[in-house]
Amino acid sequence: MPGGDFEAILHSLYSGSVVQARPDATTVNLACLHRVALHRLQRDLVLEAMAFKYQVRREPQLNGSTIMQALKDHEYIRDCALKGAKNNPFIITTDASFGRVLLRQCLEKIDSDRGAPNTWSEDLTNHLSWVRAHPSPNRSTARTLFWRSRKFLNRTDAFKRFLSRFLMAFIGGALLVGPMHIMVLHPGTILSLIITSVSVLIFGILAAVVLEKMFDILSVTAAYAAVLVVFVGANTDA
What pLDDT score does 93 carry?
Answer: 83
Strand order in the sheet with 19-21: 19-21, 26-29, 91-93
How far is it, in rounded angstroms, from Cα 12 to Cα 10?
Answer: 6
| Span 95-119, average pLDDT | 75
Q: Residue 177, SS3?
A: helix
Would the pLDDT of 82 be above 50? yes
Would the pLDDT of 105 be above 50? yes
Classify residue 131 as exposed, middle or buried by CB count within 10 Å of its CB (0-12, 13-18, 19+): buried
Percentage of the chain beyond pLDDT 90 is 8
Q: Where are the beta strands (DSSP E) in the chain?
A: 19-21, 26-29, 91-93
Confidence of residue 4 (pLDDT cuts 50, 70, 90): low
How far is it, in rounded angstroms, from Cα 149 to Cα 18?
Answer: 26
Q: 115 — alpha (psi -120 to 50), left (phi > 0) or beta?
A: left
Q: Which of 41-45, 68-72, 93-97, 158-162 is predicted with the least confidence, judged by mean pLDDT?
A: 93-97
Would the pLDDT of 118 be above 70? no
Q: Each residue of 18-73: pLDDT tens digit?
A: 888 877 778 888 889 999 999 998 888 888 888 888 876 666 666 667 778 888 88
How far is it, in rounded angstroms, from Cα 103 to Cα 118?
Answer: 21
What pLDDT score does 141 carry?
Answer: 47
Cα radius of gyration rounded to whole Å, the chain? 29
